[in-house]
Amino acid sequence: MCAMDKIDATELPPNYDPNAFEHPSVSVDVVALTARGKALEVLLIQRSEKPYAGYWAVPGGFVGMEEDLDAVAARKLSEKTGVGEAAPYLEQLYTFGKVDRDPRHRVITVAYYALLPAPESGLPNAPTDTPVAGANAAQAQWFDVHDLPPLAFDHAEILHMAIARLQAKLGYTSVAYALLPEEFTLTELQTTYETILARILDKRNFRKKMLSLDILEATGKERRLGAHRPAQLFRWTKREPVFLP
């Protein structure tokens, strides 16, 4: 047996006092995004208390001493969006810790972003169209990310970083799966990409690339859209992020 086997890794030094150090508060903020038609939308809550009373903010809250960060993020997402099951995609984004980011006291926030299918998708993990305004919130509402009210704290920076991260991930993963229903047309898929990237993509090149990646499979069904001929329906081979070649 080596000497290291006898060491108790949980043992504290003699006379250790945790109150000898300052304790900043830690919060979690969640940027919840969904795509509806040609709009990328984010869930915001309107604050009912100071500071920033009346301003809109991304949902979040303080982390309890016995809570894991991921668990708090999932809980806040469920409370504010009505998602009854786990979000299709939830990722830790960045830690924001500027000294003066919260006028109340020193607050460090760990930001997450979540991707959700549209409320009308019918999926069990889709958010509600009428989100719930919880504690300290006057109302909750979905907003187009390109038409936002003034945001509280540094939440505009948090939202900007979340969108930039999502745009980058489209280039090397199949993360868009989280925003689409079980079955969709290639036109709907391209619209989702264009909505996130905020630019038009070449139809022929987009379809050729997507069909060459082995991440989509035909369902054998079709959907008629207006007076146009029926469009073939596809689904993801995996409803989880896949790295693309």
Domain chopping of the chain, boundaries: 22-169, 172-236
Q: Are 44 and 106 in contact (CB under 8 A)?
A: no
Residues 235, 237: Cα–Cα separation, whole Å: 6
Tell me the CATH number for domain 22-169. Answer: 3.90.79.10
What is the model's pLDDT at position 175? Answer: 97
Q: Which two tokens stand for residue 105?
A: 């006291």
Fold category of 172-236 in CATH = Arc Repressor Mutant, subunit A (1.10.10)
Residues 6, 174: Cα–Cα separation, whole Å: 47
Quick count: other Cβ atoms within 10 Å of Cβ 123? 19
Instruction: Produce one character per residue of 54-63: b if its CB has 16 or more CB atoms within 10 Å, e if not.
Output: ebbbbbbbeb
Q: Are 213 and 234 in contact (CB under 8 A)?
A: no
Distance of CA 190 to the CA centre of its chain: 20
Name the burial class of residue 45, with classes exposed (0-12), middle (13-18) and buried (19+) by CB atoms within 10 angstroms of its CB: buried
Provide the residue-wise pLDDT of the chain in tens; the chain has 245 residues: 455 566 677 788 888 887 888 889 999 999 999 999 899 999 999 999 999 999 999 999 999 888 999 999 999 888 888 886 788 999 999 999 999 999 999 999 999 999 999 998 888 889 988 888 877 788 999 999 999 999 999 999 999 999 999 999 999 999 999 999 999 999 999 999 999 999 999 999 999 999 999 999 999 999 877 777 889 999 999 999 999 98
* pTM, rounded to two decimals: 0.91
